[in-house]
Amino acid sequence: MTNPLYDALFAPHEGKSSPFLLLAGGSILSHAAFLEMVDRMANALTALGAVPGDRVAAHVMKSPQALALYAACVKSGTVFLPLNTSYTPRELDYFVGDSAAKIFVCDPSEEAAVHDIAMRTGAHLTTLGADGLGSLTELAETQEPNFKAQPRSLNDLAALLYTSGTTGRSKGAMLTHENLLSNAKSLVEAWRFTRDDVLLHALPIFHTHGLFVATNVMLLAGGAMIFLPKFDVETVMAQLPKATAMMGVPTFYTRLLEEKQFSSDLTTNMRLFISGSAPLLAETHKKFELRTGHRILERYGMTETSMTTSNPYDAERRAGTVGFPLPGVKIKVCDAQTNAEMPMGEIGVLWVRGPNVFKGYWNMPEKTREELRADGFFITGDLCLIDEHGYVHIVGRGKDLIISGGYNIYPKEVEMFLDSLPGVKESAVVGAPHPDFGESVVAILVAEDGARIDAATIEAQTKDDLAGFKRPRHIEVVAELPRNTMGKVQKNQLREQFADVFQLAQD
């Protein structure tokens, strides 16, 4: 029995001195050196008691060692659970407990804050910092630099990624070796990646985009990555001449366009710019092409499916669309009420089927049956249409999803938190257009009888218990929320009412 992901992504690079990670300080980590780090890390996980199938939760900053932790999980047969670095202890408590993680890796600076979580859930707590130092790497350095890849099947879990739930309870999407490997193969083919490519990697590695799309594609292609700890516009511009491709969220491209020094001279070596995780404005498409001569390639995916569609590499890349289904992926647009397939050009809910579609939700069989049909189709909840040329247009998002700076925010989770605060009778959370982040969070609150809501106090409370990207950027207090005859809050009215709040703040 083999280990599908390890055999395809990592094994071909064993013993090779070819460059893999080009680091900001100028140092280079070869494939062989990286894989030696992986072996030591895999031995460390085993020493801590992890066995194939166990979950390893990682709330750590981006670093070569953090990437090696992912690879070590693949090789040891454990299930990698990356967690957004913005999550607070309150949020981490749920993820570590729900997943029954065997090992919980955190930043050394937060060890004391999450100690009780580990004790309560039974997870072994260990640390890994942005500098690569911590108790986990100290243990790894004492281990042998060789580790036999544990046997796994295509249907075995490789990763568990939590995505916010509309009921406020986050759902753990179970991703298999086949899910991740099939998607990497499709993307290498669709985007023409080879061993000669150098990818500018400024994305975080706690979600699909930076970890499974960018990293897996480059491992499969055999190329190198300029591995930056975060997106810093000056650093990115300095590194662009050394790269051939870049993957980013719309914010990356709007920030670059704000810089006068950003010009076609910096992009002469580039062959491809890719954008995803949030819609890219047509205006950004045009400005970027005028400035650089490059047409950004926009694609679409989600945690449960990895990448599903992509604008073409060779043919026309159309602004406002996410292109065509990737090889091996079947899509259809269905009526939200009847589930009947819609005629071409009509709006409905996007359904997806293919080897990229996840196995189901962790410990949520009913939710899995509701959204993942017996015939393999996954109901995304996103509203779309397919035009006469076959291009997919994402025209709206079901379930009131907000995407801010590439991060998914489900309003219900924020509303549940706001409703629990003293003086708050009820709340409604919507997204409003933001010139930089695509969308940002607006919270509309109704006070309890006789109570007074202070926006500054609310803001202070959210800083303690909500990740930064989830926090309301504008708070409004109203006498009552608009409702229809069935008592449902009319969020469309709220979105219209507060559509200009962030634009007005800039004027």
- CA 71, 301, 230, 20 dihedral sign is positive
Across 303-341, b (16+ Cβ under 10 Å) vs e yields: bbbbbbbbbeeeeebbbebbbbbbeebebebbeeeeeee
Q: Are 36 and 143 in contact (CB under 8 A)?
A: no
Which tokens hold the place of 470? 């989830």
Does 3.40.50.12780 match the CATH number of domain 231-355+368-400?
yes
Which tokens hold the place of 116? 């009780």
Burial class for 505, CB neighbours closer than 10 Å (0-12, 13-18, 19+): exposed
pTM: predicted TM-score of the whole model, two decimal places: 0.85
pLDDT at position 227: 98
C-alpha 343 chain-centroid distance: 32
Q: How far is CA 255 from CA 266, 284, 499, in A?
A: 15, 10, 22
Q: In the predicted model, is pLDDT for residue 124 greater than 70?
A: yes
**Tens digit of each residue's pLDDT (9 = 90 or more) over 381-412:** 988 899 999 999 987 666 677 888 888 787 87
Q: Are 230 and 203 in contact (CB under 8 A)?
A: no
Q: Where are the alpha helices (DSSP H) in 267-400?
A: 282-292, 365-371
pLDDT at position 491: 86
Q: How far is CA 479 from CA 386, 432, 474, in A?
A: 41, 21, 17
pLDDT-derived band at 507, boundaries 50, 70, 90: very low
C-alpha 64 chain-centroid distance: 18
pLDDT at position 504: 56
The residues of the chain that CATH labels 3.40.50.12780 are: 4-9+30-178, 231-355+368-400
pLDDT-derived band at 166, boundaries 50, 70, 90: very low
**Tens digit of each residue's pLDDT (9 = 90 or more) over 270-306:** 999 999 887 787 888 999 999 999 999 999 999 999 9
- CA 396, 402, 403, 404 dihedral sign is positive
As a residue count, the chain comes to 507
CATH superfamily, region 4-9+30-178: ANL, N-terminal domain (3.40.50.12780)
pLDDT at position 476: 92
What is the DSSP code string of 149-203? PPP--TTSEEEEEEE--TTS--EEEEEEHHHHHHHHHHHHHHHT--TT-EEEE-S
Mean of pLDDT over the chain: 93
The residues of the chain that CATH labels 3.30.300.30 are: 402-506
pLDDT at position 168: 59
Q: Which DSSP category does 227 fall into?
A: E
CATH code assigned to 402-506:
3.30.300.30
Can you tell me the distance from the alpha carbon of 361 to that of 175, in angstroms, rounded to the nearest whole number?
Answer: 9
